[in-house]
Structure 1
Amino acid sequence: MKVEEIIRKLKTEYHADSYFGTKIDESRTRDKVLYGAIDKECTGIVVTCFASTRVIREAHKMGCNFIISHEAMFWNHGDHTDWLQENEVFQEKKKLLDIYDMTVWRDHDYIHAGIPLRDGTYADGIFYGFIKEMQWERYVIGDYRRSRTFAFPGITAKELAKQMVDKMKLNGTRIIGDPDTIVRKAAIPMHLIGDADNHELAHCEKDKIDCLLTMEMTDYTVQEYIRDSSYVGVPRAIIAIGHFNIEEMGMKYMSRWLPEVVGEIPVHFIQSGDAYQYIV
C-alpha cells in the first residue's frame, strides 16, 4: 500500500468534524505531509508524538519509511521551513530524512476529532488513548469519549505522580502545591499559559478538583492559585507531566488500532521520550 493511500484511508476512518465541532478544512488543517514523498510503497509505519532525529533513526532501523507524528517536526506552528534553510540543525535533520527516504505526516486535528469505536461512536483518539493506556477507564467522570476528569478512591498526589512516572516511563515529574493532597478528583486542563486560565481556575473551585495533571503550565495564574489554596488549608496539587508526555499515550494507543486499518504493514510505536531531566 502506498503512503498516500494510507493517509487517505486514515482520514476516512476519523470523524469528519474537528475537536471544536467544525468541519476539518483541508486547506487549513495542521495535518499535512511534513516531509517526503507519498507516491511510494510503505515498508512500515512508526507512530510517535514528535518525529525527532532519534525517532527518525530508530524508524529506519526498524525498516520503516513512514512516520505518523502528532506534533510539528520543525519546531514551529505550521512547520514553516523557509526561515530555517541556513540553520545547522535543520540541515542535519533534513539530510537524515533524505538519506532514509523518510516521509512524515502530521496527525493532529484528525485524531483529536475522533477515532471510531466498536459501538459506532467516536472518541478523541489522544485522550481516550491516554485513558486506555493508563487503564483509568473505571475512574472516568462523564463521557469517556471526551472526558479529561477522573474520580480516584483517595490517593496522595505523590503516589499518583509515582504511578504516572512508572506507567509512562518518564524521568520524573514536578509537584506544585501539597504533595500529600488526597486526590479524589483530578483533571487534565488545556494549556495553562495566560488569561484563559481563569476558566480552569474557576473549574477547580466549582467542581472541587484536588489535582491537575498539566500539559503546559506557566509560573503564574493557576500555579499560584494551587499554592495559595494549600496555604489556606484547602490542599490541592499540580502534577506537571508535560504536553508531549500526556499526549504520547494517545499515539501509543494508535499503534494498537492502526493495524486494523493498514492490514499487514508493520506498525510500531516509538516513544519520543521525556524531554525533562532532573537534578535534585
Structure 2
Amino acid sequence: MKKSANSIFTRRKFITTSAISAGGLVLLSRSSFASGLSAQKQYTVQQVMDLIMKEGNLSPIPNTVDTLKSGDASQVVTGIVTTMFATVAVIEQAAKLNANFIIAHEPTFYNHTDNPEWVKDNAIVEQKQALLKKHNITVWRFHDYCHSLNPDAVEYGVIKKLKWLPYFKAGSPTLTIPSVSLQQLVQHLKTSLGIAHLRVIGDLKQNCSRITLLPGAPGGKMQVGFAVSDKPDVLICGEVSEWETAEYIRDAYLLGVNISLIILGHALSEEPGMEYFVDWLQPKLTDVKVTHIKSGDPFTWL
C-alpha cells in the first residue's frame, strides 16, 4: 500500500524525536561530524612548538640554533613535515601535501646558525627564501631540543630502525649486540637504514659485539673519547673529520687494537630520528597531519 507524503513526514518526525529523547543527540553529532560541520582544532606554529616543549618536558636552551628560519610563528598550520634538511625538493613536496610547517633537524641555509649573510650575495639562498615565501612555508630547526628529548629522538629512532631496542640503554651510545662479523654488520646497516655504500676501516672478518653508535657529527674529540673510554669493537659514526677520527682508528687498528670504524653519512645516520619523531608527535597533535619526507643522500656514488 502506498503511503502518503504526510504519513512519511510524520513517521520521520517521530523517529527523530524518539532518537533525541533516547540519547540520539550523540548520533546526530556524529552525523554532523561526517558531513563536515564539526571543525578540527587549529594550531599556530607557535602553539605546535609550545606543545612539543611541554610534552617533551623541555626547558628553553640559551642561544639555541632551534629558531624559525622562515615564515611566522602566528601562522595557522595546515600540515607538518619532518625532515633532516629542508631541501628544495622537500619544500616542493611539502607544498604538494598542503603542509606549511617544516620541522628540520639541520640548517636550511648551509651554516650552523642559518645566517643568510654567511656568504654575501648568495643567489641560491635568495632563491630558496623566495621559494619558501611562495609556498608560505615556515621552517623551524629542531636540533638541540630533538637531542634533549628523553630518550634522544635521533638516537632512539636509529636504534629502533636497526632493531636493537632490546640492547639499548638511554643515555649511553654503547650497546652490546649478538656477535656478528664486521661484514655482516655492514650489510645489516645498509639494509636497515637504506644505505647503498658505507666507508669502513677494519678487518671485515672481525667479530663485532660491542658497538658505539654516534649519529650525525659530534666531532672528533667525542668520537675518539668514546673509542677510548668505551672500548667498542666498532665505532659507527655519521660523519667524521678525516684527519681526526679516521686517522685515529686507522693507527689504532695497525697497532693491534680490536677496533673498526663505519661511516654512515650525516643525513642518513640521523634521518631515522626525524622519521621516529612523527610517531612521537602525531598522537599528541591529532588534528594536524604529520608526515616525514626523507631529504636523502646528497651524494651519487660512482
TM-score, structure 1 as length reference: 0.85
Q: Deviations over 1:188-242 (max 9, x none)?
A: 2474745565523422xxx331101012212234323322343344443111012
Aligned counterpart in structure 1 of residue 128 of structure 2, from 81, 86, 93: 93
Please give the residue correspondences for 1:24-39 in structure 2 after superposition, counting only pairs within 5 Å: 24-25=61-62, 28-39=63-74
1:156 aligned partner: 181
Q: CA deviation at 1:50?
A: 0.9
**Range with bigger deviation, 229-238 or 174-183:** 229-238
Q: Does 1:66 align with 2:130?
A: no
Aligned counterpart in structure 2 of residue 181 of structure 1, from 181, 206, 230: 206
2:282 aligned partner: 259
Q: Deviations over 1:28-73 (max 9, x none)?
A: 1111111112222211100011111111111111111110011111
Counterpart residue type for residue 136 of structure 1: W
Q: CA deviation at 1:108?
A: 1.2
C-alpha separation in 2, matches of 1:272 and 1:13 = 26
Aligned counterpart in structure 2 of residue 16 of structure 1, from 40, 50, 58: 58
Q: Is the 8 A contact 2:212 2:232 kept in 1?
A: yes
> SS at 1:246's partner residue?
helix
C-alpha separation in 1, matches of 2:219 and 2:61 = 25
2:232 aligned partner: 209
Counterpart residue type for residue 241 of structure 1: L
C-alpha separation in 2, matches of 1:8 and 1:245 = 28
1:4 aligned partner: 46
Q: Is the 8 A contact 1:171 1:276 kept in 2?
A: no
Counterpart residue type for residue 143 of structure 2: H
Q: Is the 8 A contact 2:235 2:262 kept in 1?
A: yes
Counterpart residue type for residue 205 of structure 2: D
1:53 aligned partner: 88
Identity %: 32
Q: CA deviation at 1:187?
A: 0.3
C-alpha separation in 1, matches of 2:152 and 2:111 = 24
**Range with bigger deviation, 40-49 or 188-197:** 188-197
**Range with bigger deviation, 187-196 or 92-101:** 187-196
Name stretches of at least 5 consecutive residues in structure 2 with no aligned partner. Answer: 1-42
Q: CA deviation at 1:261?
A: 1.8
Count of matched residue positions in the alignment of Structure 1 and Structure 2 = 259
Q: Deviations over 1:70-106 (max 9, x none)?
A: 1111011111113456212112211211111110001
Task: Go from structure 1 to structure 2 and tell me whether the alpha carbon gap of 1:79 and 1:235 turns closer, same or farther (over 3 Å shift).
Answer: same
TM-score, structure 2 as length reference: 0.79
2:167 aligned partner: 139
C-alpha separation in 2, matches of 1:192 and 1:218 = 10
Counterpart residue type for residue 200 of structure 1: F
C-alpha separation in 2, matches of 1:165 and 1:70 = 22
Name stretches of at least 5 consecutive residues in structure 1 with no aligned partner. Answer: 18-22, 115-121
Task: Go from structure 1 to structure 2 and tell me whether the alpha carbon gap of 1:100 and 1:255 turns closer, same or farther (over 3 Å shift).
Answer: same
Counterpart residue type for residue 212 of structure 1: L
Structure ranking higher in helix proportion: 2
Task: Go from structure 1 to structure 2 and tell me whether the alpha carbon gap of 1:202 and 1:46 turns closer, same or farther (over 3 Å shift).
Answer: same
1:271 aligned partner: 294
1:119 aligned partner: none
Counterpart residue type for residue 228 of structure 2: A
C-alpha separation in 2, matches of 1:86 and 1:224 = 37
1:246 aligned partner: 269
C-alpha separation in 1, matches of 2:222 and 2:291 = 37
Task: Go from structure 1 to structure 2 and tell me whether the alpha carbon gap of 1:135 and 1:195 turns closer, same or farther (over 3 Å shift).
Answer: closer
C-alpha separation in 1, matches of 2:71 and 2:218 = 34
C-alpha separation in 2, matches of 1:39 and 1:233 = 59
2:152 aligned partner: 124
Give the superposed CA RMSD: 2.1
Larger radius of gyration, structure 1 or 2? 2
Counterpart residue type for residue 31 of structure 1: D
1:20 aligned partner: none
Q: Is the 8 A contact 1:192 1:218 kept in 2?
A: no
